[in-house]
Structure 1
């Protein structure tokens, strides 16, 4: 009985070593890519928070004008949240994203209010810190206008 050694090793397919090399290369690429994607998602959450804050400010201003009564924004740096109130009624309470801190304010934490005219009682700023990024919420003098800037 004669064994043909040439044809015994010509079957098509991949060896175990080739598969292990490919799998190890893919796992190295995933180890590099996944932390980058997580960091971008977290920063998108902070941007989403500021978008929501901006919408809440506009809605509070419109509610003050529509109802003819002041609407208060109360920031709580310890609870990492803000509450929107009209009189004794809580309209909304929202939490800050994890890692976002309210670092300072020239208005005080509970002095932001929209009057029945839609104006604010006084101008000022709120400063937020996320990792090494600073954000400032600025209220322009007495008109109820505001903007959020990244520093």
Structure 2
């Protein structure tokens, strides 16, 4: 007598695998809808903190420029044009209006201007608000 699986047993196992995949795929889409904005804004906050720390550490102005046309931002030292970082937003995310086109972190860590930048990802709207003085900012879902 040979040991092994029958065709029926193999088909039942494959059926169970396919059913569990069919159930989990919509859940993965919902998970992606939550992960993409949180990862994007974590990166943005990290880049803003980095710009602020470089300004304090080097005692020179650091600029964060927002490009609404191609949905990206960059961090640079304006006096030397040294690019510190450049990030492009995910394909489904748009930077669509705001009162800020740039933020300058001063050598003491404060910002030179205040305002907002608004982001849209699928059906949700997020706002980055920069406060005058002390370089504080926050990102919140609208």
Q: TM-score, normalised by structure 1?
A: 0.78
**CA separation of 1:116 and 1:14: change in aligned 2, threshold 3 A:** closer
Point out where structure 2 has 5 or more consecutive residues left out of the alignment. none
Q: Report whether the alignment pairs 1:148 with 2:109.
A: no
Look up the match of 2:93.
100
Contact 2:93 2:119 in 1 (8 A): yes
Cα deviation per residue 1:15-64 (whole Å; 9 max; x = unaligned)? 75676466445423321311321441353132111111111111111111
Q: Report whether the alignment pairs 1:112 with 2:103.
A: yes
124-133 or 23-32: bigger deviation: 23-32
Aligned match for 1:129, one of 116, 120, 133: 120
Look up the match of 1:46.
37
Point out where structure 1 has 5 or more consecutive residues left out of the alignment. 1-12
Distance, in Å, in 2 between the alignment partners of 1:142 and 1:18 is 69
| CA RMSD after TM alignment | 2.3
Q: TM-score, normalised by structure 2?
A: 0.82
Q: Report whether the alignment pairs 1:37 with 2:28.
A: yes
Alignment: residue pair count: 138
